Amino acid sequence: MKRPDLNILKRIRLPQGKFLKLLDWYIIKKFLGTYVFAIALIISIAVVFDFNEKQDKFMSHDAPWSAIIFDYYLNFIPYFANLFSPLFVFIAVIFFTSKLAENSEIIAMFSTGMSFKRMLRPYMVSAAIIAVVTFGLGAYVIPKGSVTRINFEDKYYKQRKMNTARNIQLEVDSGVIAYIERFENYSNTGYRFSLDKFEGKQLVSHLTARSITYDTAAVHRWIIRDYMIREMKGMKETITKGTRADTTLFMEPADFLIMKNQQEMLTSPQLKEYIDRQKQRGFANIKEFEIEYHKRIATSFASFILTLIGVSLSSRKTKGGMGLHLGIGLALSFSYILFQTIASTFAVNGNMPPAIAVWIPNVLYTFIAFYLYQKAPK
């Protein structure tokens, strides 16, 4: 990088009345350029390692090269880039700002009367651009590509689809609760099925059946075999038995056969609709879907927090130089990703609400950002 003429920088007087000045645009272009470069560099390495790990499986399953490139890696790259966006933000901010500090450009900026708070403006504009792009990709674009990517992995690498589900309970209609002890995907058949109908808190009908099979030729159509129905009306009880009955139930195998990482295949509006519908039906196994929904928003806001930490950390010229700043920055960014993973695990396996768990890392790192901001050169 060519060393700037500090005398020229010192003579700069920022004109009033413009939100972004020439110097701001210089910082924005350099910041975003470094961010894109960091993504390209690290993803190139990640793709090489990923291919080396999986090539034997790809070859043994006769995966065509066109599918490997266009179905898998073309969708793997944006997924990976978005997943580790906090890391790339940190690297970009610290690398670029450390360069400015090392070349005394920040000192020159301060000598023009620019405050540290004012210097943050182009960084925050850049963070806003990254946040919008990150959210847009994560909420609307990447999920569609994940469908293709995960289907490719399921076919040529490792099967993710669940073949069975156990102890399924959900509300199929108002006051109607269905229960299946075991459901097998390959035959679309559930065993030890029961259906309870309530009026208020009063049980009025109880159906039990040996098995229930989903009819793929029609929507929501099920075939019940070896059933018994008990109908209660006051003190009177009626029992009906049969060997087969066709019925319509507002449920389908996709409601309870949840594939691993299925939440990654839904756009944010689809996630919200799925969560609301499953909550209404009393289906409890939706924490991973709630975590994914809130994490997409929290990760976008993390761009602002991590940018502030990076600028505050690396804007001072130190003896260790860029190496020290990069070391601290990488440690903080990896700890953020690790803490995010731990909080999500607590939400899935514990009693912590997903919305709170996902935002805990952001809250903690906001305090770190505020502390470093107070210590930054003014």
CB 99 within 8 A of CB 1: yes
Sheet architecture: strand order including 236-248 = 164-173, 176-184, 189-199, 202-214, 221-233, 236-248
pLDDT at res. 162: 64
In terms of Cα–Cα distance, which of 302, 289, 240 is closest to 263? 289
Residues in Cβ contact with 165 at an 8 Å cutoff, skipping those fewer than 6 apart: 180, 182, 183, 185, 256, 257, 258
Is the pLDDT at 77 greater than 90, yes or no? yes
What is the DSSP secondary structure assignment for residue 138, as one 8-state letter? I
pLDDT tens digits along 249-274: 988 887 777 777 788 889 999 999 88
206: exposed, middle or buried (Cβ count in 10 Å: 0-12, 13-18, 19+)? middle
Per-residue pLDDT averaged across 309-322, rounded? 78
Dist. CA 230–CA 238, nearest whole Å: 6
Residue ranges covered by each domain of the chain = 19-158+288-375, 164-253
Q: What is the mean pLDDT of residues 90-98?
A: 87
**pLDDT higher than 80, residue 163:** no
What is the average per-residue pLDDT within 84-108?
Answer: 85
DSSP for residue 185: T
